[in-house]
Each structure stands twice: as structure tokens, then as C-alpha cells.
Amino acid sequence: MRFIELNNEVKMPVLGLGTWKSSAAEVYGAIRWALKLGYQHFDCASIYNNESAIGEALAGAFVEDNLKREDIFVTSKLWNNAHKPEDVMPALKESLKNLRLDYLDLYLVHWPVAQRKEAIMPLEAEDMLSLADVPLEETWGVMEEAYNQGLVKAIGVSNFGKKRLEGFLDKVEINPMVDQVECHPYFPQDELVDFCRKNMIAVTAYAPLGSGSSVMMEDEAVKKIAKKNNVTPAQVLLAWGIERGLAVIPKATEEAHLQENLAALNVELDEEDMKELSGLNKNERFLSADVFRIGDYQGIDIFA
């Protein structure tokens, strides 16, 4: 495995298993297979609604496969309805309980938006709470407490753009160690990646294969580079992210896909391949944040 060293010297494996949209039934088998294949990094979140099944799979592997806690890197994320300072610690503890762990390797603020506690997904304007009422730095203050208490080995954010990060760094005591954002050749986020590099914030790329869309894998340029290197289009897309110094967390549930994605660690793209892939930029996201664009968040650039 290859690692990215975070700004507090914690080592994050560059390739992890994404678990968003994996059902509880699917994710149990996926985690057990992934561990056998050599995956060490698991990207989870309370909103994915499958942390209990992941916890069961990890617990099984600790007992049956002699897995050691220190050999895996587990991320979870604070959901938007638990941003109020008094709700952060209980939400973290709930994830720890479901994952059956006594610490997380990384805990992220999932989105820079806040919702009412009762509103798991926002349905109406009143479900969204403005950031003036629930400031991100106050949420972060409790993330810092969790870090200082050793409940999490690293803390970070997700879906924070450059402008938001710039303002945030001025206000917080402990800088985020990671920003997890959508990133792939169609949406390379050069400016943000560059800013994070300069500020020692590691970037994890979600949706590195296109979040369920096959359009990037069917891109003629990607297919050509795959053929030239005798690898698959998915491996090209993942290797592109890794070569840029990012961590990538593709979702997979089937053994063949888990294996294919992991083997991207052995793919070496040359400068010409990298350049051609970077040239595919369409400034196009697969994931919009439209569901949150109601109430106070109407007309706001959530990804700023």
C-alpha cells in the first residue's frame, strides 16, 4: 500500500474503498473481500446508512482473520443535522458504536451546510439552518475536542472549496488535515488541489470513476491510454488521481471490481498520459448539491 502523510504525521492509504450507495447487505461482503485483497482504507459516513454492517464486517475480520486495528484506516463523516456543538460528540459516538471501533482514523464535516436535527434530508426551507446561526468554526471546535481526546486520529472537511477553506483556516485552531471533494479528469479542481498542497491539507477524491456514470470510462482518450498501458479505463482514472498526490476512494462491491481498483496502485502513467488526462477537464461535477439549495442556501455557492 502507498500512503499520504497528513499534516499531523498520520498515514492515510492512497486508495480506499468508498461505501456510499452500498447497501448494508452488499457492504458487509465488500469489506470482508476488500480486507482479504489488501484494502486498508474504508470511507464511511453516517448518512450512508450502512455503518452497522461495516462494523459487523470489521468485527468479524478482527476475530476471524486476525485483523489488527492499527492496520486499517477508517473515515466517517458528521452529517449536516448534527452541526450544533452539542450534537457533534453524540453523532461521532453513534458512528463509533455502529462501526464497533473505539477511535476513527479520520472524521470529516461532510458538507458546509447545516440542517435541523430532525431533518436527515432537507425537504423544506425550514430544514436548513443558516451558517450564521450554526457557524462551521463552532462545529469544528468540537471536532478539535474529539481530536484532542483521541477519539479521532485526524479531522477534516468535505466539499469545502478554496474560498471557504481560506476563510476557515483563519478562524480555527487546528487546520483540517484532509478535504474530501469530487475530483476526476472531468473535474480536476486544480486551484483547490494547489491551495491544499500549499497549506498541507491532503485531498481525497470522491467519485474518481464518475459516481455510477460510465461516461469517463468510455471516453476515447481514457480508453486509448488504458490500451497503451495494458490496463483498464478505471485503473487509468484512479492512477491519474494517485499520481497527482490525491487519495482515491472508488466504490465497489464485487470482488472483480475491488481487485481491479486496487491494482491501480501498480499503474504508472507517463507525463504524456497525465497531460492528456488533465486536458479532459470539462469543469463538470457528477454530484450537485441541489438538495441543499433551499431556504438560506438558495443562490449560495455551496462549493465556494
> So which residues are the catalytic ones?
48
Question: Closest separation between CB of residue 45 and ligand 1BO, Å?
Answer: 6
Name which of 19 and 261 has its Cβ closer to ligand 1BO. Answer: 19
**Residue with nearest beta carbon to ligand 1BO:** 20
E strand segments, the chain: 3-5, 11-13, 17-18, 41-43, 73-78, 106-109, 114-115, 128-129, 155-158, 178-182, 202-206, 247-248
Question: Closest separation between CB of residue 290 and ligand 1BO, Å?
Answer: 11
Q: Are strands 106-109 and 73-78 parallel, antiparallel or unpaired?
A: parallel
Question: Closest separation between CB of residue 164 and ligand 1BO, Å?
Answer: 17
Nearest in space to 288 (alpha carbons), one of 213, 176, 201, 196: 213
**C-alpha 296, offset from chain centre:** 26
Contacts of 298 (CB under 8 A, 6+ apart): none
Nearest in space to 195 (alpha carbons), one of 156, 155, 165, 159: 165
Nearest in space to 134 (alpha carbons), one of 119, 114, 160, 120: 114
Name which of 203 and 267 has its Cβ closer to ligand 1BO. Answer: 203
Question: Closest separation between CB of residue 181 and ligand 1BO, Å?
Answer: 10
Contact by Cβ (8 Å): 79, 128? no
* Grid cell at residue 240: 491519474
Name which of 47 and 78 has its Cβ closer to ligand 1BO. Answer: 47
Question: Closest separation between CB of residue 198 and ligand 1BO, Å?
Answer: 25
User: Which DSSP symbol is given to 166?
Assistant: H
Name which of 20 and 160 has its Cβ closer to ligand 1BO. Answer: 20
DSSP H helical segments within 220-285, as ranges?
220-229, 233-243, 255-262, 271-278
Give the footprint of ligand 1BO on this chain (CB under 6 A).
20, 45, 47
Name which of 4 and 47 has its Cβ closer to ligand 1BO. Answer: 47
